Structure 1
Amino acid sequence: MNQALSGMKVIDLSQILAGPYCTMVLADMGADVIKIEKHPKGDDTRSMGPYINEESYMYMMVNRNKRGMCINLKSDEGKQVLLELIKTADVLVENFRPGVTAKLGIDYETLKGINPALIYCSISGYGQTGPYKHKGGFDIMAQGLSGIMDMTGEKNGKPVKVGIAIHDIAAAQTAIQSILSAYIYRLKTNEGQYIDVSLVESGLAWTVWEAAAYFGKGEVAKRNGTAHRAAAPYQGFQTKDGFILIGAANQKLWETFCLKVVGKPEWLEDVRFSTNTLRSENVDDLEGLIEEVLKTNSSTYWLEILEENGIPSGPIYSYDQTLKDPHINEREMILNYEHPIAGPIHTLGFPAKLSKTPGKLSRPAPTLGQHNDEILKELGITKQLT
């Protein structure tokens, strides 16, 4: 089966998460991704547990479907191999700190002289320009600078880091869409281009509701627990034995919720809750009243009633519950494959279900330098790398 990106050749010089996640998705879509790891220890993620037979599970999670080489780019021999690869590559992805690729002689200006059609994507913490360009940037620093950390958490609590590496994944997704846009342009013109992606800006671009509130009314987004900034009730609520989510934010759903779920018609007459705007302004009072009722029965009880009455609702799962959920499993979001060293491995599935060119799990994450000889042979190089 030909996949959407069959025939695309990607050189992956990135490590940790943002870059490798980007190139993993391209590989899932059929691109030939050659992951080049630094000599002698490889991607830093290889030193992160948990381990299965001394193979890092973290590494295996974001490097499936790739071929792997281990090259010393500081040596003439290693750099020459990379330059040979660039001659036939479509895309290069790197996440060195700005300035490092120029020192290594593998920056965009140099490589486009070898391959003018090359799409070169740099992912960094703060971007290639600006006063912060040389700062080291990890996801948590991006969460702090973007304002996302300050707006996350309970109202009277400390700023809280989002539970996942949200800026890393945002940067990966931004890189993916940018690379595919550049690839479409290249198909029309045969011209490559340079792509500058930063962790900070990728996450900041997702703060659309918060930007609307600030630009439109001068409101600065603050910590609000699970509550929505402009709709209520639309948040998590405590029940007798846990927490559930309820989204009865429009007027029709609110009326149904009051009359058919909690049996509180008097709430419809309460001036504090007569409109969505007023409910949002008085969300603390509303939360207290709703939880007073919900605490009389179990989460399962309330979720069944909410579902019967067409009120959007759901559980708040722990991560193990998520991975055991029948819907998640029927949608094939957990896949299995055999790794040559680690053995049977579970991994996450493909979130987009394409009818003609679906994602495919074709090969396990490479062991360190696994495909050196294979790729050198393709390049016509008979000498082994030292």
Structure 2
Amino acid sequence: MTDAPRGPLAGVRVLDLTRVLAGPYCTTLMWELGADVLKVEQPGHGDDTRAFPPFQKGESVYFASINRGKRSLALDLKNDADRIVFERLLERCDVLVENFRPGTMERFGYGYDALKQRFPALIYAAISGFGDTGPYRDLPAYDLIVQALGGMISINGAEGGPGVRLGISLADLAAGAFAAIAINAALYERRESGRGRFIDIAMLDVQTMLLESALVRQFATGEAQTPTGSRHPVITPFDVFRAKDGPIAIACANDHLYRELCDAIGRAELKSDPHYENALARYVNHVALKAELDAAFQSKTVAEWVAQLRALGVPAAPVHTMTDVVQDPQLNARGMFVDVDDPDMGKLKMAGSAFKISGYPQSPTRPPAPNLDEARADVLAELELPPEASRERIRRDGKPPLW
């Protein structure tokens, strides 16, 4: 931890009981915004992602990427001595985040209804597949299951083909982001009220909010969207086309941009063609229009088209691979790739922060993720509790100093 505040959440203390992705992503966002995050892990095992590839020198780079900067403390909440440590931590934390299956924390005696009596200012965020209520409450869930149930798989994939899972764990990542938003709102409210809140985030709920036009059209017209490839389901041309040497993405979201595109490709007659002259006509006749445009784009390379279209203000881009992404000049100029000097793994590279907030300079580096239970001695010292060898003698009496 540095002396200078890293972000506007400086001074906020997060007790992080999460594992795998949705919860750790939430607390990583909180860390990026300046909070201090203490990661509580299962003794001897830790977060499941410590065993996820890829590895460098025997350690998980995946784990490192979503737990950088945090501290780690291993606690067994069935162990009386560890429960004392946990409860001392609760006395000084602002936020508790967990992503166990609903009911798990209650079985430990640490559900929100129990904790709010002792810690009324505590903000308690629970992230789960289906939330704390409803018929799916007790079902296990991972991103694939939520994408399947929530319809996301059914609308993604090649047009006319079967649905496919998105290439990222959107259900997890979005749930983590929504949880961070809700926590920050609760922290803002608490400044006046002094009260904490219970935040119940369900991955399936969050994904439903992300269905956008697919859900709108289902309710409005009864149309069940099917996979449309890279094509926008209602806006045309808004798709990936084929240039002389590869794919090019072009997005014309209004009539003006469409007309500029027609002039650029030398097909001015398409502007006044009744089949394509407005947004609705282009939507109805998108198959024929795509054929016209694909044929026109064959005359030049992707780079040539991108330069020409951008000069006219038409949004256009090459389709980058991951190799291209990490070399992208815009992302590098924005500091979106940072260095980590890990004592075990050596030099690492990972995603930076999308938060750009005035007064908080962007750092080109990040602290490493912690080894399991790495912070035990420091945390016990901060709590003025005896070291590991004497922990059975811990007593509940006495008030430790502030964290």
User: Contact 1:30–1:359 at 8 Å: present in 2 too?
Assistant: no
Structure 2 counterpart SS, 1:271: coil
State whether structure 2 residue 92 is matched by structure 1 residue 92: no
Cα distance change on mapping 1:26 and 1:358 into 2, 3 Å: farther
State whether structure 2 residue 221 is matched by structure 1 residue 217: yes
State whether structure 2 residue 5 is matched by structure 1 residue 10: no
Give matches, 1:4-153, under 5 Å: 4-153=8-157
Structure 2 counterpart SS, 1:352: coil
Cα distance change on mapping 1:381 and 1:359 into 2, 3 Å: farther
Task: Give, in angstroms, the shift of residue 51 of structure 1.
Answer: 1.3
Structure 1 counterpart SS, 2:388: coil
Q: For the residues of structure 2 that align with 1:299 and 1:107, how far apart are their CA atoms?
A: 56
User: Contact 1:28–1:359 at 8 Å: present in 2 too?
Assistant: no
Over the matched positions of the two proteins, sequence identity in percent amounts to: 33
Q: Residue type matched to 2:61 in 1?
A: Y
> Where does residue 343 of structure 1 map in the other structure?
346
Query: Which residue, out of 315, 319, 322, partners 2:322?
Result: 319
User: Contact 1:117–1:192 at 8 Å: present in 2 too?
Assistant: yes
> Where does residue 160 of structure 2 map in the other structure?
156
Q: For the residues of structure 2 that align with 1:359 and 1:179, how far apart are their CA atoms?
A: 23
Task: Give, in angstroms, the shift of residue 217 of structure 1.
Answer: 2.5
> Where does residue 376 of structure 1 map in the other structure?
380
State whether structure 2 residue 199 is matched by structure 1 residue 195: yes
Structure 1 counterpart SS, 2:275: helix
Q: Residue type matched to 1:343 in 2?
A: G
**Equivalent residue pairs, number:** 385
Q: For the residues of structure 2 that align with 1:340 and 1:112, how far apart are their CA atoms?
A: 39
Structure 2 counterpart SS, 1:272: coil
Q: Residue type matched to 2:185 in 1?
A: S
Give matches, 1:232-251, under 5 Å: 232-251=236-255
Task: Give, in angstroms, the shift of residue 79 of structure 1.
Answer: 1.7
Q: For the residues of structure 2 that align with 1:268 and 1:180, how far apart are their CA atoms?
A: 48
Q: Residue type matched to 1:203 in 2?
A: Q
Which segments of 5 or more consecutive residues in structure 1 lack a partner in the other structure? none
User: Contact 1:86–1:114 at 8 Å: present in 2 too?
Assistant: no
Which segments of 5 or more consecutive residues in structure 2 lack a partner in the other structure? 392-403
State whether structure 2 residue 177 is matched by structure 1 residue 178: no
- State the TM-score, normalized to the length of structure 1: 0.96
- State the TM-score, normalized to the length of structure 2: 0.92
Q: Residue type matched to 2:140 in 1?
A: G
Structure 1 counterpart SS, 2:160: coil
State whether structure 2 residue 267 is matched by structure 1 residue 268: no
User: Contact 2:15–2:96 at 8 Å: present in 1 too?
Assistant: yes
Cα distance change on mapping 1:362 and 1:298 into 2, 3 Å: closer
